[in-house]
Amino acid sequence: KAGVTQTPRYLIKTRGQQVTLSCSPISGHRSVSWYQQTPGQGLQFLFEYFSETQRNKGNFPGRFSGRQFSNSRSEMNVSTLELGDSALYLCASSLQASGRTDTQYFGPGTRLTVL
């Protein structure tokens, strides 16, 4: 099976712009979660989508949003970019939604740099 894919891998934007990141989960997986990773804050949960519905949301401002399509592919959007949004954005797919026993498989991430 192909793994989780994320596009683009690298992105450079300027403050105030918006950005859209894409994630394709493993075939058959219906849950996609997004994480932000920074040296200072570590891995922080953004949100989770299951069957096109946002199931859970972390403590991020409304500038961060996402959606999931019928084929389980997911997109994450960040509007009005700030310098502090520079980070590695990881998506992870799993079979179930919010499963306490479910394994998450991570994509390679998108490295976003905001200038």
User: What residues make contact with other proteins under the rule CB under 8 A?
Assistant: 33, 35, 42-45, 48, 56-58, 90, 98-109
Collapsed DSSP state (helix, strand, coil) of residue 97? coil
Q: For other proteins, give the closer residue by CB, 5 or 79.
A: 5
- Residues 91, 106: contact at Cβ < 8 Å? yes
Tokens 């096109």 sit on residue: 52
Q: For other proteins, give the closer residue by CB, 14 or 41.
A: 41
CB of 113 to other proteins, least distance (A): 15
Q: For other proteins, give the closer residue by CB, 62 or 70.
A: 62
Residue (of 61, 49, 62) closest to 97 by Cα position: 49
